[in-house]
Structure 1
Amino acid sequence: MTAIANTSYVTYELRGDVAHIGLNRPEKRNAISDAFVEAIAATVARAESEAKAAVIFGHGNHFCAGLDLAEHMKKTPIEGVRGSRRWHEIFAKIEHGTIPYISALHGAVIGGGLELAASTHIRVADRTTFFALPEGQRGIFVGGGGSVRVARLTGTARMMDMMLTGRVLSVEEGERSNLAQYVVEKGEARDKAHELAKAAASNAEISNYAIINALPRIQDMAKEDGLFVESFMASFTATSPEAEERLRAFLEKRAERLKIPGQN
């Protein structure tokens, strides 16, 4: 059953176990204001309560052109800090939530839009997509988590290049820079993202939680600390009732086998 809801900035649709969160300010290229980011927070909370995976996409010709600069330039320094920290809090709910998020990208994925995409777990881009971090040219600095999340995806050298020179990456360059894991034809990103989200939603919920929460944290640890945590996660997930049933189904040849590329 599909349920659809709309706010002034975000649309929400539940397709089976997959929530679709749509950025809905197309006249501003989905630029994110304070009210907009709060609408994202509300829809993410709803998705966490009733879905097993989610797709984030943009209405109109672009995914998201970033921060609403007209609103930002009116803020005092402390208001700017508070706004940035609120972005951090909300985007962390995506990155370290309880369900996987897949972003469907097209058109501009710029500044704060790239920071939002970087907080999702898988990124699908169609061939109209381009990536940029023009903060240096605007006289500002990233404030939505980009210095951590985007830098970890691309490497500091590539991110520094983008910010210092205003370099715009094509979708192919973005894929090579790990900003997208899938590239599809124009207009197909949302469908592909839904396909991936549906596959993720079929996993054991405890496994999904471990993947999206343990893996990033293990990367922050020393090697031996990471391996230690891995052992606990492996043991904890394997002893769940759902894991026991899924493993038994595999051993009894009742589970679907891996699909090898190029083979039927």
Structure 2
Amino acid sequence: MSDVVIVEHGSVTEIRLNRVAARNALSTGLAERLAAEAAAVGESGARAVVLSSAAPGAFCVGADLKERDGLDDAGFLAQRVVFRRLFASILHLCVPVVAAVHGYALGGGYELALSCDLIVADETAVVGLPEVRVGIVPGGGGTQLLPRRVGQGIATDLILTGRHVRAAEAERLRLVDRVVPAGSATSAALELAAQIAGNSPVAVTNARTAIRRGLDVDLSSGLEIEDAAWRSAVLSNDRREGVRAFVERRPPVWPT
């Protein structure tokens, strides 16, 4: 069976990590397949994506250190190219992505979740970036995405100690966005993704772009980015349909 399984839920596509015996440890092969599937989903017309796991007790435990134990320096650098492609494929998907996290999401596994727009975790979740414990620096975006999510102090604490954080503390520190009962991460993420997918594709795309681009500029520049996003949405057929549907008290039928 494939290490990555695609499940369609109407306008939501679920990308399910399925390297169960290894708790979805990121081997070079799994990274290649996941990147390819993410790229394909980006062209499929899905309006939202859920990244989930079929492995009991784990979302993804990070890089496959057994595989890495056999790599020389050149092998590490070659694998680096594959891994960068993987994380970029998730981060830059053209539609919103929701991570459904249960059990361990460590190192590259947590970086996969950080690459998503939202993280839904159940009560069994344990997250962290423990790379410094094995002489490595987070390389899937962790040193950049985590400070943007939680601030420099908390990110520095977690990255330099490499400690594991359980669900309740993870929610308090905003390492995850929602915590749900054990066993319900995937269903809750699918419900959230479906809610997003039901909204105007034009508005969602523009709002998401404004949020992301605005993170790295000053407030004045950010407001200009927002204005451009607003103008793009308000001049679209989605706006025309959305307002008309509201007035007519019916669900909108988005033209895009």
1:176 is displaced (CA, Å) by: 1.5
1:163 is displaced (CA, Å) by: 2.8
1:214 is displaced (CA, Å) by: 2.8
Please tell me the residue identity of whatever aligns with 2:145. R
**2:129, 2:142 within 8 Å by CA — same for their partners in 1?**
no
Q: 1:48 aligned to 36, 39, 42, which one?
A: 42
**2:207, 2:229 within 8 Å by CA — same for their partners in 1?**
no
In the other structure, the counterpart of 1:180 is: 176
Root-mean-square deviation (CA, aligned residues, Å) is 1.8
Q: Secondary structure at 2:16's aligned position in 1?
A: strand
Structure 1 residue runs of 4 or more that deviate by more than 4 Å after TM superposition:
none
In the other structure, the counterpart of 1:63 is: 59
In the other structure, the counterpart of 1:12 is: 6
**1:96, 1:213 within 8 Å by CA — same for their partners in 2?**
no
Instruction: Tell whether 2:19 aligns with 1:25.
Output: yes
**2:206, 2:230 within 8 Å by CA — same for their partners in 1?**
no
**1:97, 1:213 within 8 Å by CA — same for their partners in 2?**
no
**1:48, 1:97 within 8 Å by CA — same for their partners in 2?**
yes
1:46 is displaced (CA, Å) by: 2.4
Q: Secondary structure at 1:31's aligned position in 2?
A: coil
Q: Secondary structure at 2:59's aligned position in 1?
A: coil
Q: Structure 1: give runs of 5+ residues left out of the alignment.
A: 1-5, 257-264
Q: Deviations over 1:186-218 (max 9, x none)?
A: 110110011011111111112222233331111
- TM-aligned CA distance change 1:155 to 1:81, over 3 Å: farther
Please tell me the residue identity of whatever aligns with 2:48. A
Return the alpha-carbon distance in structure 1 between the equivalents of residues 155 and 81 of structure 2: 21
- TM-aligned CA distance change 1:248 to 1:93, over 3 Å: same
Identity %: 34
1:164 is displaced (CA, Å) by: 2.7
In the other structure, the counterpart of 2:236 is: 240
Instruction: Tell whether 2:209 aligns with 1:210.
Output: no
**1:153, 1:179 within 8 Å by CA — same for their partners in 2?**
yes
Tell which deviates more after alignment, 77-86 or 35-44: 77-86
TM normalised by structure 2 equals 0.90
Return the alpha-carbon distance in structure 2 between the equivalents of residues 79 and 234 of structure 1: 47
1:240 is displaced (CA, Å) by: 0.4
In the other structure, the counterpart of 2:196 is: 200
